[in-house]
Chains A and B, each alone.
Chain A
Amino acid sequence: MIKYILKRLLLIVPTFIGISLITYAMIRLAPGDYTTLRAGLQGELKAGAIGNEIIEQEKRLYGLDKPVIVGYWDWFSKLVVFDFGTSRKDGRPVAERIGEALPITLALNIISMIIVYIISIPGGILSALKKDSLYDRVSSLILFVLYSLPSFWVGLLLLMVLSGGDYLNLFPLGGIVSDWAEDFGFFDRMLNIAWHLMLPVATLTYGGFAFLSRYTRATMLEVINQQYIMTARAKGLSEKRVVLVHAFRNSLVPLVTLMATILPGLLGGSVIVESIFSIPGMGMLAFEAILARDIPVIMAIASISAALTLLGILIADILYGVVDPRIRLEAGQ
């Protein structure tokens, strides 16, 4: 087991280098770079030649004159000591910018995920047990309808309608905490934050129900029709016991795996939801960094999320073995 984990961990290193190198090359080769973007049009360029010289000077300052592979090596050698460099936009360490955005996104995503799991798993189980019943059909239809609503549309409608000045005024218009809530006690402050997060969380979650409950339903159905469940039923165990103890426990396997692969997704914010609700999270950070060609920020976010995805895959594989002892890790898949 330990040998297996070690082997997999070692394999992560080349994979990670591959991912970060591709990312770096992609941004460097993309048309437009930070210096041109900033200098090119904002100011008058006095004399063409001199103007270009000044821009070249600034490119050298940011290492944009070096070949891609050298630039990558510069980045990578700093990464090894966990130095992500400084953001082009505001000159602050990238770690500091991520440190600001990450807690917000994490909070939003964890809350959303808990809600999705709490609602979808029982819903999915029920759907599976009552397959083809009215409940199954209606709930699946509703879930698909929800899943099919574009989130930017729903987000904007919710804001216009529930927090605007024109119709209802129930929620704040974006942000995370009110200006005046600075001096509130802990509890009141949390309440204020919860009040702000309600609409974004709603926008983030409604689409997720469909996927997870369909997934639960499918795995449950698979398990229910297995031999041993039939046997359990035949033995005269109560239906409740059959479902909760035997069927559900076995359908946990894919659910656990799913959870592990969702891990890196926790860090990635949704640009759309964040821009609508004025939330300064990871999604906006990444999106703005891409548009501004802010290489250190893009690289930091990409490498963190890649590392987590790789770990997620590994954890999922290990968990697979823990939850379902029938799977031998050494055999691969």
Chain B
Amino acid sequence: MLLEKGLIYGNAGPYSTRTMDQLPGEYRIVKIFFRFFSSRALALAVALSLPIGCGDFSSVRDRHTLYIHLGSEPGHLNPITSTEAVASSINQHIYETLLDRDYDTAELVPQLAESWSISPDRLRYRFRLKKGVFWSDGVELTADDIIYSFRTIKDPKVACAPLKVYYIDVREVRKIDRYTVEFLYSKQYFRALEICGTIPIVPEHIFADGTDFNTHKNNRFPVGTGPYRFERWDTGKRIVLVRNDSYKGKAPDLHRIVYRIVAEPNIALQMVKKGEMDMMSVRAIQWVRQTNSDRFVKNFYKLQYYLPTYNYIGWNAARPLFADRRVRLAMTHLINRDAILDKLLFGIGEVVSGSSYIYSKGYDKSIKPWPYDPERARELLARAGWRDTDGDGILDRAGKKFAFTFTIPSGSKFAERLGTIMKEDLSKVGIEMDINRYEWAVFVQKLHQRDFDAVTLAWSLSWEDDPYQLWHSTQVAGGSNFCSFKNAEADDLIIRLRKEFDEKKRIRMYHRFHRILHEEQPYTFLYCTPAQVVVSKRFSDVKVHLRGLNYLEWKVAAIDD
């Protein structure tokens, strides 16, 4: 799957959030209240629960089923038209691609392809398919399915704009024979192999039936080649996958995967505690405060792993206020990133100083994040001409006050907390900041129209990062360079980097680019925070890989009471 620059705050659905929260405190009063209440309620409890026969959930369910929490419901499961992260997390078990990334090394390894070759001019990518791979309805997968998928992506009537942009430079996909395809690129690109190898593949015999692709009935009844096949979908409740018996690879030990849709994370955690779900991504607060009881630790693994993501505060350089590098740098010096990480996020995560994934080779570890330093910030602001000349406690320059709005998406509690802390801290050096919280659709619109002063967001990156979309000056007009970052040297580096196939040279360019970002501070880079997952100890062989968890290798633990 192409897991790309998506927005963390938003990609789990329009208003569900993956926030980072916290907290200490005491249980007292509620508990006391409960002790008093429970004696009375006991009789009622017995009366209610016995006749319905629903005492313990774990006693009634199939041990070979994995129950996973899903924070929001995908619209459908078509890998071409879907843009939702939840959909791709399900689809990775149903659909396969030509190449996959190794769980431990994140290198590209064959999946549907048996082998591949690249022409010397790096414009032609030829893949040889494994023979005898069948869709779960028994039809064989052939080169025609891949060509159909490619044409579908290119079809103007198919609503898959986010995917289309990856294939702009792919001129054609040719069928060499029943089991061989060749992708023709119109120009060299270092990520071409990945783009071709991870193209979503859908069965032609199912979708090419003359009905509209966007609303095809099989969008909600996927047919794939992967280790699991789709079984049922109870809207708003659950999606069930069952082991695909025609799958040629090693059969997983888990017979079924049930995704349960529960929007409210507190409720989901309670369900996990009651044994109604086996696995859930938890928030920092839940990780630190709500999953540490002896009973919980005895029954659940608590796993942490980093993925290529980071969050940041972006300063709109198109606004006069933040056009000055010194002002942006001063803002970074005014944000106490270490203390916020320590207290609001319980120290779980790393402060980052650049745009590459902190644990990748492209990230230059010798560049340390700018420290919290209000004095230096004041100095920088003064040099940029911002002084309090009229004695009203607010900085001004040429009769204009230093005031701006901080735009945040609603639903992100971390953004809210960050904003209120900034507001208070900035007011101490004479900067007026307002917080504007917008619902997701409006927030996105504001970004597109570049209608903001400062903004906070998170990016999730691919394993091999291409800085073009975020940082090249041509992307100011219509791309994702919201903050209007323009730097001639960076532009040149980015263009050269995209055509460089020698990894060592590319890394040197990444490092130089990292340095430019550090000096220019178009963003105040914040944190790379790990995913935090709790998994029931009903399963064994639960390992954390570079890419996270792999259910396929899990075993159902032997019964013990």
> Are the C-beta atoms of B34 and A168 separated by less than 8 Å?
yes
Chain A residues with CB under 8 Å of B44's CB are: 170
Chain A residues with CB under 8 Å of B258's CB are: 179
Known: A47-B474, A170-B49, A173-B276. A90 touches B271 (CB 8 A): no
> Are the C-beta atoms of A170 and B235 separated by less than 8 Å?
no
Known: A32-B444, A40-B448. A173 touches B477 (CB 8 A): no
> Are the C-beta atoms of A278 and B261 separated by less than 8 Å?
yes
Q: Mark B434-449, 1 if CB is under 8 A from A, else 0.
A: 0000011111111110
> Are the C-beta atoms of A91 and B238 separated by less than 8 Å?
no
- A68 to chain B minimum Cβ distance, whole angstroms, is 17
Chain B residues with CB under 8 Å of A58's CB are: 159, 161
> Are the C-beta atoms of B267 and A278 separated by less than 8 Å?
yes
- A136 to chain B minimum Cβ distance, whole angstroms, is 28
Indicate which residue in B45, B83, B238, B266 contacts A43 across the interface (CB closer than 8 Å). B83
Q: Which of B34, B162, B214, B276 has the most CB of A within 10 A?
A: B162
Q: Mark A30-72, 1 if CB is under 8 A from B, else 0.
A: 1111011111111111111111101101100110000000000
> Are the C-beta atoms of A280 and B477 separated by less than 8 Å?
no
> Are the C-beta atoms of A54 and B161 separated by less than 8 Å?
yes
A207 at the interface (CB under 8 A from B): no
A293 at the interface (CB under 8 A from B): yes
Chain B residues with CB under 8 Å of A92's CB are: 215, 220
> Are the C-beta atoms of A38 and B83 separated by less than 8 Å?
yes
| B contact residues vs A (CB 8 Å cutoff) | 4-7, 10-11, 14-15, 30-31, 34, 37-38, 41, 44-45, 48-49, 51-54, 57, 60-61, 74-76, 81, 83, 156-157, 159, 161-166, 168-169, 214-216, 219-220, 235-238, 258, 261-264, 266-267, 270-271, 273-274, 276, 439-448, 466, 468-469, 474-480
- A314 to chain B minimum Cβ distance, whole angstroms, is 33
| 14 A-B interface contacts by CB (under 8 A) | A30-B442, A31-B442, A31-B445, A43-B83, A45-B475, A55-B161, A61-B156, A62-B159, A163-B270, A167-B38, A278-B263, A278-B264, A291-B440, A292-B14
Q: How many residues of A contact B (CB 8 A)?
A: 74
Q: Which of A43, A160, A167 has the most CB of B within 10 A?
A: A43
Indicate which residue in A50, A191, A284 contacts B236 across the interface (CB closer than 8 Å). A284
In the complex the two chains form, what is the Cα distance from A101 to B54 in whole Å? 25
Known: A172-B54, A291-B439. A40 touches B270 (CB 8 A): no
Indicate which residue in B165, B267, B476 contacts A50 across the interface (CB closer than 8 Å). B165
A265 at the interface (CB under 8 A from B): no
Chain B residues with CB under 8 Å of A279's CB are: 236
A78 at the interface (CB under 8 A from B): no
8 Å CB interface, A77-112 against B: 86-92, 97, 100-101
> Are the C-beta atoms of A61 and B216 separated by less than 8 Å?
no
- B111 to chain A minimum Cβ distance, whole angstroms, is 22
Q: CB-nearest residue of chain B relative to A280?
A: B236
> Are the C-beta atoms of B266 and A278 separated by less than 8 Å?
no
Known: A32-B445, A168-B45, A291-B15. A41 touches B161 (CB 8 A): no
Indicate which residue in B51, B60, B263 contacts A275 across the interface (CB closer than 8 Å). B263
A180 at the interface (CB under 8 A from B): yes
> Are the C-beta atoms of B83 and A45 separated by less than 8 Å?
no
